[in-house]
Each structure stands twice: as C-alpha cells, then as structure tokens.
Amino acid sequence: MQQAHRPGNLKQSNKVHKSRHRSKRGISAAVKGKVNVKEIVRRNRHILKKDERRHQSMQIRKNKREEVLSKKRALGGNRNPPFLVCVVPLNAQLDVQSALAILKSCSEGVIVSQSNNGVLHIGLPNFKQRFSFICPEVNNDFALLDALKIADTVLYVSSALDEPVDEWGEKVLALSMAQGMPTPLVVAMDIEGVNPKKRTSEKQNVQKLISKWLPEEKVMQLDKSSDGLNLLRRIGNQKRNVLHHRERRPYMLAEEVEYVADKEGDYGTLKISGYLRGMPLNVNGLIHVTGLGDFQMSKIDGLDDPHPLSLNKENTKPDSMEAEVTKVTVLQMPDPAKQESLVSENVPDPMDAEQTWPTEEEIEQSQMETKKKLVKRVPKGWSDYQAAWIVESDVEGDDSDEGNDSDDEENEQFMSCEEDNSDNEDKETVNDFESVTESEVGMPDDKYDATIDAHEEHEMLQKLVQAREDQQFPDEVDTPQDIPARERFTRYRGLESFRTSPWDPKENLPADYARIFQFENYDRTRKRIFKENEESLINMYGFYITIHVKGVRQDLWKAFYAANSSAPLAVFGLLPHEHKMSVMNVVLKRTGVSNEPIKSKERLIFQVGYRRFIVNPVFSQHTNGGKHKYERFFQPASTCVASFFAPIQFSPSTVLCFKVKKEY
C-alpha cells in the first residue's frame, strides 16, 4: 500500500491573502481623490533602430575627425599663423645654426625670410605650410622659459660627436617639463661623421639617454637635406600638446618692436607686431608684456602678411619702392567708457573697519559656541587665547590671592629654566657646527677670504640649525632669549581642536587686506569669464597685427631693451580682473636639485603662468580643511602651499619658483 507524504515541523506556511478580488472600477473608486507624493515623469523617448544607431555613430566619428583636422589646419596655412618652433640645444657647446642651415636648403622651392627680431621663417609651397624658428640664448633660463610659453613645438638638438645631453641639457629638460612642455621633437646631428659601423650604436645611445625624460619620442637624424624635409613634415603633421594656461588667453610673439616717445613727458608708445594666436584680443582689455608689466592699448592695426607662403607679383621685387608700401588697417579702437583700468589695489576707507556693537547674528552665534567656563589659574598678563592652553580645574570656586601669587612665581621660574635650557642647547648645536676648522675643509686661505662672506656664512649656519630643529621638532617652539615668553606669544591663540574649533578667517585681518580684492564666488566668476571669452565676436586669429601699447616709461624701456635685446618678447592678453591684487595660494613641490632649506618669508622669484615677480611667501601645510599649519621652513623632498600678495590669475597655471643668487 502506498504511503502519502506528511508535512513535518519545518514546512513553510505562507500568509493567506486577506483582501478579496476587486474590479478595476472598485480600485479606481477607492483611490479617488488621493495625490501621489512623487510622480514619475517619463518622456516618450524614441528607441533608435539599427540603421539609426549606425548613422549616429558615423556622425559622431565624422565630427571628431573634423575637429582634429580643424586643429591641424589652424596652424601653418596661408591665412593662419606659422608653426612656431623653439630650437634648444641639449649641449651648451652645440651650435643650432648648423641645424637651421640644413632646414633652409631642404627643398628647391623653399621660401626663407627673417624678421628684425631674429625670427627665421621657412615656407614650403609644396606642403602648403610655413614655419617660424626662434633660438633662445644658451645659459639664459628666463629667455628659454619665455620662448617655451608661446612655442607650438620644441626642437631638442643633440650631437653624436659630443656628449648628447650635458648638465645644461638636463636643466633644460627639467625646466621645460616643470613649466609645461610643448610638442617635443628630438634630432641627432653629426651621425654621418661617425664610423659607419658605430652609427647605429651611437643613435641608440642618444635614444637611450632621451628616453629617461621623453620615453615616447623617437630620435630623428638631421644631416642631409632629405632629413630636414622629413623633420618639417613631421612638425606639420604631429599631434599637438595642449597647454591650457595659454589657450584660454590671446598671446603673440613680437617680431617687430618700435618705441615712439611722446612729445611731452617721460612716456611713450610701444608698437609690437606679430601673429596673433590663442583667443580673441579685445582692445578695451589689458595686455601683459613679459618683463615690462601690464599696459593699456591705444589701438590695434592690421598689416599685410610680411612672410607669405607664396610670392605674389607685388612681392617679386623686394628692392622696389612698391614692396616697401605696407597697407595698414585699423582693426580696433578703444572705448574710454569700456576700457579696463590699470588700478590694481583697492583704496581702503578707515571708517569701514569701525564696529560699535555686534549684530544679533554674531551674538546668537557666540552664545551657541560659548561653553561652560571653568576656573583656571594662569600667570598675570596672559590673554584669553593663552589661557586656553592651561588645563581646566575640575572644582569651581574662588582661589586666594596668595595661591595665585605663588603659582605666578613658580611659572615664572619654570619659564626662566626653559629659556636657560634653550640657550644651552642652541650654544651646543652651534658649537657642533663650528667645530670644523679651515684646514679640514681644505680651501686655501687667500681663496677663502676672497670668495667667502663671514656674515653670510653665519646666517647660513643659523638657518641650517633652525631648519634641522624644525625638521626634528615640527610642533615645538622655543622661548626667545631676549623677550619673555608671555610677550613673545601674546598674539598666539589656543584651540581645543585644530580640526573642529571655530576660527573666523576674517577675524583680526591685517590692514593690507583692505587694499586687495576678493571674489564672492571664484569658480562661478572663472566659468563665466571663460565662456564670455569663447563667445566673443572679435576674431583676429592668425592676423599679422600691430599693438599700440601706451604709457610705457622711457627709462623702463631702455633698461629692459639693454638687458633683453636678444631675448624673445612675448605678449599675453589679460582676462577681466587679472590685473587686480589678491592673495594667491599655490602648491609647490621641491625637486632633488638642491637640499638647501628655504625659510618662510624668504625672498624668492615666482613664475606663475605668464607672470614673473619677486615676493616673500608664507609656507603652510598642503592639507584639507579650513585651517592650515604654518611651516617655518620648506624642507627638501616635501610639498607645501605658498601664500603671497600677487595679481589675480585664473587657474590652471603652472608655477615655478627660483631662489635669488647673490653675486660677489
């Protein structure tokens, strides 16, 4: 007989459905009058078919290809600015003129011309492309950096007969990579002069050395005319590196410079001619001339292209009078009502800082932040901020005056002992550094006396001692020798928590803060300015123009021209508000070139984007939050934030920092 299965204790029992069946009419009647909290709204999206998806992908691919081609066609054409190439040797003893000589004779129909400022122009009608070459001075770091700011391509030249990359070449590569390298190219010369059996190994040796800095670049040979033609073809067809700090602004390399002094006064007009690159230039804005400063423009003229890709009938006779006649067209004239002012600092009103009584919001905020106060025993003369460092007592009440006096005496004695100990420690550390004699150093006495400054050596010794103490004890401060600690640390404040304790950033600001400008919303202003600049109706890209810079002092121009007559002159158009002063915070990272400590508030040379100036920065830790720890020294192999007063410059921008050398 078959036995039926009987459920056990672990049988699953589902809940019964308590509601009965309802019709659609009953359901709608039950929910009538109710409003949903959130309604889901869906657009009736059209689902693409297979042919439509294929057509959409073809359109996207076509738009991307046209965008790439438009960027390539924006340089080197007849109506576009030529490819600007900066030629830099990787060996200080190498002459780059031999490389330019090969490029001049690379083809039969090549068109060669040169501007007054030494810019070499080479045009190839067969390629329908033209190129401009600049050669900055060797051992002039700032001239090299100014040339790389505006160059489209940097051409590194090495030699197989000499050392391919010497100390100067390593410095050049480090500077160019730190500032932002344009599209790089590396050529090796004099390979034909090497034994044919060793040519391949010599070229591989150069390739191995270059791969340390540029691992993706292939070294090209430059010894014959065909090599020069291949080099120009590669310059015109390779992919460009985008430097965002210059693509947002108009910029130009000066090819013709003329200074016209005013009839009265010590000022004049500086005429700068060249090919306009980057974004549109507005005559009502300001421009920055590298090494001179910010200026206004009186007008912008348009000229005929002096270096055309093809020679017309009018240009076949360069010595005739007809060729000397240049057509000048006034492109823009400034509007006095719209022209931007040169005022860089705000004029403070001393009455604005007066505050007779706190507002209701400040009173409510202070009441919320105020906690139950406990009795503290502190030395006489201590402020509320100093008292925050004293441990609170658990018992509330009044102490006797005698106890306070005794505590004061004990604290004063304890502080005096600390001062004595710090003095002894400083003397011991100084003696440890000064124990090395001149004979142990090995420098002759006459040479030591002629080259060494005793005062500077003593300052450097003190700086090394302080930097070592700061590195070993970053969170400690010794009491001074000649000032009581209660007076020295009067301006210090105590915080229960460095992360969470409230501290108003606008509290007790220096008086100089009333002279600078502040953004209500920096990110929103930056986006708006960039968008307005892109939507500008003024388009003079690729025009050969002359900018009339007004208000240039004669003595300033003479001194600048005497020191930088052979250096490239760059001009950048300023965005709105970039002439005004504010507080700049930049992130710095130490390189391994020097291990010398840099003290806070030390005189340094900063290059921020297109500007270069000298400031005394204040260093702080590069951390998140609203409060940042002050750094007394910029230690080697570290990263910190430098803060200083400087003209506003919208990010992104590269920052380089140099130390001022003292010449004897």
Q: Is the per-residue pLDDT at 443 higher than 60?
A: no
What type of residue sits at position 66? Answer: E
Between residues 322 and 49, which one has the greater pLDDT?
Answer: 49
Chain-wide mean pLDDT for the chain?
A: 79
Q: Which of 315, 289, 294, 293 is nearest to 304 (CA)?
A: 315
Q: Which of 302, 307, 253 is nearest to 545 (CA)?
A: 302
For residue 439, name the pLDDT band (cuts at 50, 70, 90).
very low
The span from the CA of 331 to the CA of 301, in Å, is: 5
Q: How many CA atoms lie within 13 A of 481 on its CB side?
A: 7
Give mean pLDDT, residues 375-380: 60
pLDDT at 38: 63
Contact (CB, 8 A) for 175 and 144: yes
Give mean pLDDT, residues 532-545: 81
* pLDDT tens-place string over residues 316-347: 444 444 445 567 888 888 888 888 888 888 87
For residue 59, name the pLDDT band (cuts at 50, 70, 90).
very high
Give mean pLDDT, residues 574-602: 87
Give mean pLDDT, residues 461-479: 76
Q: Worst-scoring range by mean pLDDT, 20-34, 92-106, 451-465? A: 451-465
Give mean pLDDT, residues 555-583: 89
Give mean pLDDT, residues 399-406: 41
Q: Is the per-residue pLDDT at 450 higher than 80?
A: no
pLDDT at 410: 39
The span from the CA of 53 to the CA of 60, in Å, is: 11
Contact (CB, 8 A) for 219 and 187: yes
Give mean pLDDT, residues 52-64: 92
The label of the residue with tokens 């340390």 reads 212
pLDDT at 105: 85
The span from the CA of 170 to the CA of 91, in Å, is: 9
Q: Is the per-residue pLDDT at 441 higher than 70?
A: no
Helix (H, G, I), strand (E, B) or coil at 607: strand
The label of the residue with tokens 């001075």 reads 137
Q: Worst-scoring range by mean pLDDT, 64-68, 106-110, 537-541? A: 537-541
Buried b (16+ CB within 10 A) or exposed e, 351-369: eeeeeeeeeeeeeeeeeee
The span from the CA of 354 to the CA of 149, in Å, is: 47
Give mean pLDDT, residues 80-104: 89
DSSP 8-state symbol, 398: P
Q: Is the per-residue pLDDT at 371 higher than 70?
A: no
Contact (CB, 8 A) for 643 and 516: no
* pLDDT tens-place string over residues 605-648: 999 989 999 999 999 988 888 888 888 888 888 889 999 999 99
Contact (CB, 8 A) for 291 and 257: no
* pLDDT tens-place string over residues 152-196: 999 999 988 888 888 888 888 988 988 888 999 999 888 887 888
Q: Worst-scoring range by mean pLDDT, 95-99, 113-117, 303-307, 445-449? A: 445-449
pLDDT at 618: 92
Tokens for 139, please give them.
């051992």
pLDDT at 184: 92
Q: How many CA atoms lie within 13 A of 248 on its CB side?
A: 20
For residue 362, name the pLDDT band (cuts at 50, 70, 90).
low
Residues 6 or more apart from 505 whose CB is under 8 A from it? Answer: 626
Q: Which of 221, 223, 225 is nearest to 108 (CA)?
A: 225
DSSP 8-state symbol, 136: P
The answer to whether the bond into 334 is cis (omega within 30° of 0) is: no
Q: Which of 152, 151, 148 is nearest to 176 (CA)?
A: 148
pLDDT at 448: 54
The span from the CA of 400 to the CA of 390, in Å, is: 19
pLDDT at 380: 60
Contact (CB, 8 A) for 164 and 205: yes
Q: Is the per-residue pLDDT at 314 higher than 60?
A: no
Contact (CB, 8 A) for 265 and 311: no
Give mean pLDDT, residues 487-492: 82
pLDDT at 389: 55
The span from the CA of 579 to the CA of 646, in Å, is: 9
Q: Is the per-residue pLDDT at 409 higher than 70?
A: no
Tokens for 644, please give them.
């200083």
pLDDT at 573: 92
The span from the CA of 180 to the CA of 146, in Å, is: 12
Q: Please tell me whether the overall predicted TM-score, pTM, comes out greater than 0.75 for this model.
A: no
Share of the chain above pLDDT 90, in %: 16
Buried b (16+ CB within 10 A) or exposed e, 170-187: eebbebbebbbbbbbbbb
Give mean pLDDT, residues 121-146: 88
Helix (H, G, I), strand (E, B) or coil at 655: strand
pLDDT at 155: 93
Domains annotated on the chain, with CATH: 71-242 (3.40.50.300), 250-313+323-345+528-573 (no CATH), 375-488 (no CATH), 580-659 (2.40.30)
Q: Is the per-residue pLDDT at 386 higher than 70?
A: no
Q: Is the per-residue pLDDT at 425 higher than 90?
A: no
Q: Is the per-residue pLDDT at 447 higher than 70?
A: no
Tokens for 650, please give them.
């919208």
The span from the CA of 315 to the CA of 464, in Å, is: 66
CA dihedral sign of residues 245, 247, 249, 255: positive
* Cβ neighbours, 10 Å, residue 540: 16
Helix (H, G, I), strand (E, B) or coil at 248: coil
Q: Is the per-residue pLDDT at 245 higher than 70?
A: yes
The span from the CA of 484 to the CA of 475, in Å, is: 20
Give mean pLDDT, residues 101-108: 86
Q: Is the per-residue pLDDT at 87 higher than 90?
A: yes
pLDDT at 251: 92
Contact (CB, 8 A) for 168 and 91: yes
